[in-house]
Structure 1
Amino acid sequence: MIPDNQTLSSLNYKNPNGTVSVEVSSISADKAILTVKDFSFDNYEDLSIIIKETEFSEPAPLDFSISDTSLILNLSSLRSHFEFRRSKEFRIYILGVHDQKAELFLLKDKSQKAAPWNNFHLFTEEIYFDKDSAIRPTEYIGVLSADSKDNLCIHLCSRNKYLAQTHYCSLRSLKMNGGKLKICYDLETGYHEYVKTELSFRNKLAEDAVTYDFTTLSTNKRGNLLRIKISLDLNKVDWKSLYWDVNVLLYNQGNNKTNHISISMDTKQRMFQKFLYNGSYKTDNGFFFYPYYTGKKTLAFVYRNKGNYDGLDIVFKEFTAIFLYRLAKSYWNKKHICLVSEKFASMAQDNGYYFFKHCMDENEEAYLHKKIYYIISKDSPDHYKVDPYKKNVINFMSIRHMIYTQAADLIVSSDSRYHTYAMQCRHSIFNRYLRKKKFVFLQHGVIALKRVDAFYSKGMRGGCDLFVVSTNQEKQTIVDNFGYEPDEVINTGLPRWDVLEDTSNGNREILIMPTWRSWLDSVPDKDFEESDYFRHYMALLNSSHFSQLLEKYDLQVNFYLHAKFQEYSDNFKAVSDRIHLISFGEVAVNEMLMRCRMLITDYSSVCWDVLYQDKPTLFYQFDLDKYNEAHGSYIDMKTELFGDRAETEEQLMELLKETVLNDFRLKPEYELKRHEYLQFKDNQHSRHICEEIKEKL
């Protein structure tokens, strides 16, 4: 008998009635045969097999049959539980009913083998997802194995993750001298053969894919391990920013497949690289290439411009802060510190600032029983905005900042929690403190036009405890794609909307505000100027047709780059004196959004701020295919936008003229969408967030 959903949901999966020991006798793509050791099927009138994902999913029945002391699981239906690009892990339960009483038992696998790869039983291979647009699509496999507590689990994981779980591959040494990178590591090959080692650019676009083969200097047998030494001439690399991965390629003769694993780093190696090793490869443009360890504790490299916080002096400063915090730990912890910030702690003009300002003006510290502090760089052009609250302002990367980071029990930010610190600081250890803090993600827009679940999903690096959204549709997007429970997603609207109002007052200003491109993140000026992005916007800013329209209809234009591209702002020029190139800090974004009559953007979420004010947006999407390849979206850009879209400059000029002649009014179909999307306009968004924090955190 298959139990109904109400019965399945009412069971206590955290505390089952007992456990059942099993051994995996055989396994195929369709079924697994388990030998049951200490359980009698005859004691129950009805039996069911249930799978339950360890965190978020609803329990589901699994088809099975019984033969003597064997349990035969039908695995063919599992694919319906697998989701795009997300690893899954299901525990397996037996539900028995005797005298109308239900008893739940968790399956345990005690048959651990000496070799790690013998603990993992593959039942299906070559699962690919249609939405995977990567150059090398990820192959997923189905695996039956025991976890660290011997619970028998069904996994969906990538082939490479499976290799990492079953094969030892660990760094022994790394040196960078005279433009030569030399690495030594130990590898357990198992059923595989070592092929080679690659340095690969972590690219978003197929056209950016580039891989360099290390020269294998030696492979010496050491017990069941290979001691492998490799080298690479860094002078011959065509450098791209930002991240580079080291992949060890392994060949399996049994299935004729070549896959890769990463080189792990033990605690000793990680501490050495973080605190003692300062070697790097420097290029003529001021960039440098150096090793780091990923969140999975594997070796990777960064190529970027050297920053203010990359020296070893940061280590001394952090250890001083750690000592001072621990000296008076009970005092700091009693303050119940809440840290608020915005992108790179460099500004005060987005949701972080307006949330902080509301908390200061309305005494939310008393309501929340917390001391609330705003983090901002000492030289920020927005610093004057927080000066009235100077007792609650912390200078970015000061000793005080470092102490309060350790003491904080809550972080509230419009970007990831890691933006409250020097995120890319080479030698910092403070990411470990940030990772443990409760986090409210304010966002800096509405999630729709860019896929970000790979970073911001629950359990991922950018995950949070409360996820702020602004529409019912957005909340459903987060629940469906990010792995959060509905009560972890709060539909309050954005804090900066507290003060958002139309102040155009007859002004004829157009705001052009394009978003960034991940494939241009931290690239040298020369590469940026050769990009389609730069060429299209330079062509627009210097278009004679555009200048004529501005003159004819008496229009002014503010052109403002995304914060991540501000370093390139001086590269842009415009011929018309009606076009104003706005630098970071010169004018607050919120002010420009309120003052403009309309917006021209590509994929920026500020379009929602404009929609909130009942103003039109034109979407200039000349690189939609490339954008979808690198980022993707949660809506169809060609059919679901709330504004007209153009792919060429000529189309944009026609739509601009049409919008001006319509006196900057929303078209009826977009006005209808506005009412569908935005359910409230009470200018109390920060207050609603405080209420949710009080109730749930």
Structure 2
Amino acid sequence: MNQISDDLKVVHFELSNRKINIIFPTTPFVNKEGVSFFCKKRKEEKRYYLKCDMKVIKDSTLVSIEIEQFKKYFQSEVRLDLYMENLNEVGENPVRVYFAKFSNNIERYQKPVYLKNDFYLSSYITKNNHVSIVINTEEKIKSEMFEGHVKLHKLKVKKVNLNVSFDIDTKVKVEIKAIILKHRKGPEQIRIKLGPNQIKENRVEISLDMKNVELLQFYWDFYVEVISEKLGNVHLRVKNFSILNKFKLQYFPSIFTIKNKNDYIILPYITQSEDFSINYRLKGRYEDKKFKINEIIAFILYILFGFFFIGSKIWLIHEKFSETAQDNSFSFFKYCYKNHPNKKVYFVIKKESEDCVHTIPYKKRVAHFMSVKHLFLILVSKRIISSEAKGHGFAWRVSQGMIKPRLNQKKYIFLQHGVLGLKKVDGTFNANGNNHADLFVTSSEIEKNIVHDYLGYPLENIIVTGLARWDELERQHTHEKTEILCMPTWRNWLEEVTDEEFIRSDYFQKYLELITSTELRNFLSEQDLYLNFYLHPKFIQYAKLFNSVDNRINIIEFGEQTVNSLIKRSSMLITDYSSVAWEYCYLDKPVLFFQFDKGKYESLQGSYLDLDKDLFGRNSFDVNTLICHLKELVAAGMKLDNSIIKQKSKFFKYIDQNNCSRIYQEIIKNEESTSHKEELMYALKRSPIVRTVWRKVKGIRT
């Protein structure tokens, strides 16, 4: 975006009658034709055009934007900036709407109005005087409107007691009511009413017996409930501004770890946005004394010898939870090992993994997960390369200690697990999130635009190369049996539910109905076909709930066979929203889609493609229709439709065996174009202590 235009001053704004009303000087609206307004998510590129009414009143122009239109665009919490575009001006670029002179008699936040479900909308003026919009729960908008914040003062753990004090930093008069622990992914909360002896002026001191607090996994956030004259009841998130608190919790977590019953632990920590929370979970195997000693040894070796590796440019590669060697990461690692032997590239895998056998030919460049070698390589490496998030290269859910912060400071190349299109991952791989990638691998211009528009990546950080594992795909299978692969993906609303809840879900019921269908079993027998049912790795704990009643239907658990081998052997695919569909299209093999929960999926997960128009295969919404489509496709010879073959060029920029080569060259280019100063600044910005210092300085300035 260009510099702020002096022509776009706002003289007044308000939120009333379900409209955002903004008053401008008339000057920029002499000719209203061609003038349009739109909003953009903060730090992203995708535009959302806004319908509006314009009226000239004396020397001003009133622009009214109906808030109803935000319902169709946004399904969750979001922050939006307002822009105007004037097509009448040659070369005119969109400009931010802003206040030239903000007056104290104008409220920065407008009273939130109900939008849909649990979400409200408020328009507000930023600290830089820009006009912006926030959509969130009423509770969170009110806490944002509150003039002040709650600061973590001191923290101490004594046996099972969590002793903590907070300061209420505000100029307005408030009544402090309670401490509230809120479960991050559910409605559960624990309210701890405060007595007079626990409040001293604006400081709250409490001692919590954590053995008597009923918690669910995993994350609980601390809030202080206050009542203000202006806003009423407000829940304020507890923030940390203390460098000492951050240092102790980040690097010496064992001091603050509370051991609970049945090997569960309670671990206080500071989030990346400097909020105070606790993590309640089973103690991980990689938190045992042996691995803690490995961390200390690796860190000491790094202090003593790390300077020898300053110019080494080591690449460290891993896959899902560092326990597989079958995805894009392993394909790319093998390419580097064979074609660029002088490049120091290492693959990380768990020693006990069944896939470890695949790494034997490359053992001199393999590091076993959480070994001293692996942890030392994290400290000295220059690039982390993976088909999963960075966090899969370290003990899962462990964020404290000496090693994890260094992993987060490394530049990261995301090879992707599959093509983006059928599943929204804005919250997971957003350009400004924890899993930010410095290079994002894509397969087509369509996918590149998705990454740019929805995830907010600059175009220079997105490379169109094709996926690494496609170099190993074979277009003809020579297996003795004719196989069909059924590979559904996961559902975000079913993650980590109990077995009983999973069994009651339509996901389980529909796929169980499919694999136990008498009609399907008879058809497979008649046509001498075999069906392989492969559950997504995120649902591996539920695989035991699916039982085959026919030897022609095989239940394959994650890790038993590689996905690549299943794809090569099978003649067609049945899936719902899995990116594996692109592999089949790439190989000219047909796909049947089974989207029995399409409405719920679009609401809770979402798709970048239009599920009614953009699928490259027939869609079914019940088991009977799916089996009918399967019979028709088998009768037609299980061939990809010619109309889909003609469209392949828009889904794949390259169809060859040079994807790894293109990826390698792009990483080398990125590496060579990055100066030592840029590498240092990148690491400093992601240092937990530097981030705390910066937020503290910003707070003082404010």
Query: SS of the residue aligned with 1:87?
Result: strand
- Separation in 2 of the partners of 1:555 and 1:175? 63
Aligned to 1:685, which of 635, 649, 659?
Answer: 659
Match of 1:510 in 2: 484
In the alignment, does 2:641 pair up with 1:667? yes
Contact 1:27 1:121 in 2 (8 A): no
Question: Given the superposition, is the C-alpha separation of residues 231 and 119 from structure 1 closer, same or farther in structure 2, using an over 3 Å criterion?
Answer: farther
- Separation in 1 of the partners of 2:303 and 2:355? 33
What letter corresponds to residue 382 of structure 1 in structure 2?
D
Match of 2:546 in 1: 572
In the alignment, does 2:62 pair up with 1:87? no
Match of 1:293 in 2: 270
Query: SS of the residue aligned with 2:663?
Result: helix
In the alignment, does 2:363 pair up with 1:390? yes
Q: How far has the Cα of 1:373 moved from its partner? A: 1.1
- Separation in 2 of the partners of 1:33 and 1:577? 72
Alignment of 1:480-491 (within 5 A): 480-491=453-464
- Separation in 2 of the partners of 1:468 and 1:227? 49
In the alignment, does 2:100 pair up with 1:122? no
Match of 2:345 in 1: 372
Q: How far has the Cα of 1:81 moved from its partner? A: 13
Match of 1:634 in 2: 608
Alignment of 1:1-20 (within 5 A): none
Match of 1:556 in 2: 530
Query: SS of the residue aligned with 1:538?
Result: helix
In the alignment, does 2:417 pair up with 1:425? no
- Separation in 1 of the partners of 2:561 and 2:176? 57
Aligned to 1:188, which of 169, 187, 207?
Answer: 169
Match of 1:442 in 2: 415
- Separation in 1 of the partners of 2:289 and 2:129? 46
Q: Which moved more, 1:567-576 or 1:24-33?
A: 24-33
What letter corresponds to residue 627 of structure 2 in structure 1?
M
Aligned Cα root-mean-square deviation (Å):
4.5
Aligned to 1:245, which of 221, 224, 237?
Answer: 221
CA-to-aligned-CA distance 1:559-617 (integer Å, 9 cap, x gap): 22222222333332111111222233321111101111111122211111111111122
Match of 2:381 in 1: 408
Match of 2:180 in 1: 198
In the alignment, does 2:149 pair up with 1:168? yes
Query: SS of the residue aligned with 1:336?
Result: coil
Contact 2:99 2:131 in 1 (8 A): no
Question: Given the superposition, is the C-alpha separation of residues 255 and 12 from structure 1 closer, same or farther in structure 2, using an over 3 Å criterion?
Answer: closer
CA-to-aligned-CA distance 1:532-561 (integer Å, 9 cap, x gap): 333333333223222222212211121222
- Separation in 1 of the partners of 2:540 and 2:645? 33
Match of 2:237 in 1: 262
Contact 1:176 1:280 in 2 (8 A): yes
What letter corresponds to residue 595 of structure 1 in structure 2?
R
Match of 1:339 in 2: 316
Q: How far has the Cα of 1:299 moved from its partner? A: 2.5
- Separation in 1 of the partners of 2:531 and 2:266? 40
Q: How far has the Cα of 1:495 moved from its partner? A: 0.3
- Separation in 2 of the partners of 1:653 and 1:241? 40
Match of 1:323 in 2: 300
Match of 1:543 in 2: 517
Match of 2:285 in 1: 308
Aligned to 2:194, which of 196, 216, 228?
Answer: 216
- Separation in 1 of the partners of 2:236 and 2:300? 38
Contact 2:11 2:99 in 1 (8 A): no
Alignment of 1:141-180 (within 5 A): 141-146=122-127, 156-157=133-134, 160=140, 163=143, 166-172=147-153
Q: Which moved more, 1:245-254 or 1:228-237?
A: 228-237
Contact 1:406 1:433 in 2 (8 A): yes
- Separation in 1 of the partners of 2:555 and 2:39? 55
Match of 1:46 in 2: none
What letter corresponds to residue 487 of structure 1 in structure 2?
E
Alignment of 1:40-79 (within 5 A): none
Match of 1:37 in 2: none
Identity %: 30
Alignment of 1:215-234 (within 5 A): 215-218=193-196, 220-223=198-201, 225-227=202-204, 229=206
Match of 2:598 in 1: 624
Query: SS of the residue aligned with 1:446?
Result: coil
Contact 1:512 1:559 in 2 (8 A): yes
Contact 2:142 2:231 in 1 (8 A): no
Q: TM-score, normalised by structure 2?
A: 0.76
- Separation in 2 of the partners of 1:465 and 1:196? 43
Match of 2:578 in 1: 604
Query: SS of the residue aligned with 1:328?
Result: helix
- Separation in 2 of the partners of 1:638 and 1:156? 31
- Separation in 1 of the partners of 2:207 and 2:64? 43
Match of 1:452 in 2: 425
Q: How far has the Cα of 1:319 moved from its partner? A: 3.0
Match of 1:359 in 2: 336
- Separation in 1 of the partners of 2:589 and 2:370? 40
Contact 2:44 2:453 in 1 (8 A): no
Q: How far has the Cα of 1:243 moved from its partner? A: 3.3
Contact 1:314 1:427 in 2 (8 A): no
Question: Given the superposition, is the C-alpha separation of residues 57 and 502 from structure 1 closer, same or farther in structure 2, using an over 3 Å criterion?
Answer: closer
Question: Given the superposition, is the C-alpha separation of residues 687 and 240 from structure 1 closer, same or farther in structure 2, using an over 3 Å criterion?
Answer: same
Contact 2:150 2:237 in 1 (8 A): yes
Q: How far has the Cα of 1:57 moved from its partner? A: 6.2
Q: How far has the Cα of 1:202 moved from its partner? A: 3.0
Contact 1:642 1:673 in 2 (8 A): no
- Separation in 1 of the partners of 2:190 and 2:200? 27
- Separation in 2 of the partners of 1:192 and 1:671? 66
What letter corresponds to residue 169 of structure 1 in structure 2?
V
CA-to-aligned-CA distance 1:60-80 (integer Å, 9 cap, x gap): xxx9x9xxxxxx999978999
What letter corresponds to residue 222 of structure 2 in structure 1?
V
Gaps of 5+ in 2: 25-37, 48-53, 85-97, 672-702
Contact 1:187 1:228 in 2 (8 A): no
Q: How many residue pairs align between the two structures? A: 628
- Separation in 2 of the partners of 1:615 and 1:460? 36
Query: SS of the residue aligned with 2:336?
Result: helix
Query: SS of the residue aligned with 1:444?
Result: coil
- Separation in 1 of the partners of 2:428 and 2:454? 11
Alignment of 1:268-287 (within 5 A): 268-274=244-250, 275=252, 276-277=254-255, 279-280=257-258, 282=260
In the alignment, does 2:563 pair up with 1:581? no
Question: Given the superposition, is the C-alpha separation of residues 569 and 279 from structure 1 closer, same or farther in structure 2, using an over 3 Å criterion?
Answer: same
Contact 1:352 1:414 in 2 (8 A): yes
Q: How far has the Cα of 1:624 moved from its partner? A: 2.9
What letter corresponds to residue 269 of structure 1 in structure 2?
N
- Separation in 1 of the partners of 2:409 and 2:133? 27
Contact 1:310 1:427 in 2 (8 A): no
Query: SS of the residue aligned with 1:681?
Result: coil
Match of 1:39 in 2: none
Query: SS of the residue aligned with 2:523?
Result: helix
Query: SS of the residue aligned with 1:418?
Result: helix
